[in-house]
Amino acid sequence: MSASVEQLLSQLGLGSLSASEVYSYPGRNENWSGITDTGNSVFVKQLRGSPGESLKRYQRVLAFERLVKGGVQAVPRPEFLGGDEEQRLLVFRMLDDIRSGSELAADEEFTESMSAEAGRALAALHRLPFRAEDFPGPDPHPFPPVEDLRSLPLEIYVNATGAFVQAWALLQRDAALLEALERLRAAEAGVARVPVHGDLRLDQFLVSGTAFTDTALTDTSFTDMAFYVNDWEEFRLGDPARDVGAYVGEWLHRAVLRIPGQETDDAFSPVLTHEDVVARGSEELARVLPLISAFHRGYREGGGPDDDGLVVRATSYAGWHLIDRLIASTRESGRLSAIVRAAAGIGRTALLDPRSFVSTVGLGEAP
């Protein structure tokens, strides 16, 4: 832990971690957490990346904090205690007894009530009142990266894994997919923009104080549940369907990855027949659809924007999320597994004809 962390904690009146047991967690940023000598539980994050890119992410976090403090409806998030722009340090109140949404989903303990709460939290974000000056300068979202699909920058290419190049070659040759992504980017430019999270995944949801009576994916008993949304480094103005679609895409991705079951990590291994894959896919989709429907219900109850085309665009973004997961997998593996390719294929189908798949992904009927 650097001296700059101790200096910032002292400036904020939070004490020192020098004599405390300090924990760090894996991730793209440096982080430290512990209890200071004055009894303050803190989580400190230092943003990695190039100076320009990390500065933008730091400024987005502060822009979110300024905006949410002036909002009439609270967005549940960890308490922000202060920061240091030069060192890209952010300090938050450390939460007790926390489990992430991805951990709960892996243990089959993410309930419909939690999913509805996620929808209400997202609706509160999308309803935040804002002024143009709250978002200095244009800050378009970098994904889907349509320009890279035309020509991949040399720096990315020379540092890419073989699996990444293979995946990108598949995408670049797909003219229909490229047209669908271009339509999606054009649609975002034509809708009323609202404050969006911009990088929504299940591990961005934090739940504390739960006391489960069972592990069913339906409503279950819990006490003193507190629900938070975390990681605001990609916060900006955008299409609300982007966040909605990312949430849907998370569950679809998990459903597809569970198809192989215990026997194999490859959906097209000889262990599984085509009929097996189809049957398991149907089972896994049926398992997550109630969660998606509960989320959408909570989002509507919370007053989230609901223009006529939102669920169609959200279905497209869910499709992109599955393809984005394909790209992300190439950074973790030397090959493209069949099951990850299958997930991307489902994403492609949703992108090419999103209106026909709105009900299939649990967002009701297309207008």
Rounded to an integer, what distance in angstroms lies between the CA atom of residue 283 and that of residue 33?
40
- Domains of the chain from N-terminus onward: 3-93 (3.30.200.20), 98-357 (3.90.1200.10)
201 closest CA partner among 118, 301, 145: 118
DSSP assignment of 239-265 = -HHHHHHHHHHHHHHHHHHTTTTTT-S
Tokens of 128: 């935040």
Cβ 209 vs Cβ 223: under 8 Å: yes
Q: State residue 272's pLDDT score.
A: 67
Give 9-49 pLDDT, tens digit per residue.
Answer: 999 999 999 888 898 888 889 999 999 999 999 999 999 99
Of 89-93, 130-134, 185-189, 221-225, minimum mean pLDDT range: 221-225
* Residue predicted with more confidence, 152 or 108: 108
**Alpha-helix residue ranges (DSSP H) falling in 142-239:** 146-150, 154-158, 162-172, 175-189
Tell me the sheet residues that pair with 238. Answer: 194
pTM value is 0.92
What is the average pLDDT across 344-364? Answer: 94
Res. 263 pLDDT band, cuts 50 70 90 = very low
Residue 260 has pLDDT above 90, yes or no: no
DSSP assignment of 270-338 = TTS-HHHHHHHHHHHHHHHHHHHHHHHHHHHHTT----TTHHHHHHHHHHHHHHHHHHHHTTT-SS--H
What is the average pLDDT across 55-64? Answer: 96
Res. 274 pLDDT band, cuts 50 70 90 = low
- Return the DSSP state at 189: H
Using CB atoms within 10 A of its CB, is residue 236 exposed (0-12), middle (13-18) or buried (19+)?
Answer: buried
The residue written with tokens 């991805």 in the block is 102
159 closest CA partner among 344, 29, 330: 330
Give 291-345 pLDDT, tens digit per residue.
Answer: 999 999 999 999 999 888 999 999 999 999 999 999 888 877 777 888 888 899 9
Res. 223 pLDDT band, cuts 50 70 90 = low
Q: State residue 213's pLDDT score.
A: 43
Q: State residue 220's pLDDT score.
A: 46
Beta strands 205-208; 98-100: pairing state:
antiparallel
Of 197-206, 242-251, 276-285, minimum mean pLDDT range: 276-285
Residue 143 has pLDDT above 80, yes or no: yes
What mean pLDDT is reported for the chain?
89
Give 151-170 pLDDT, tens digit per residue.
Answer: 888 888 888 888 888 888 88
What phi and psi values does residue 93 have, to the nearest 5 degrees?
-70, 125
What is the average pLDDT across 76-102? Answer: 95
Tell me the sheet residues that pair with 89. Answer: 46, 84
* Residue predicted with more confidence, 179 or 71: 179
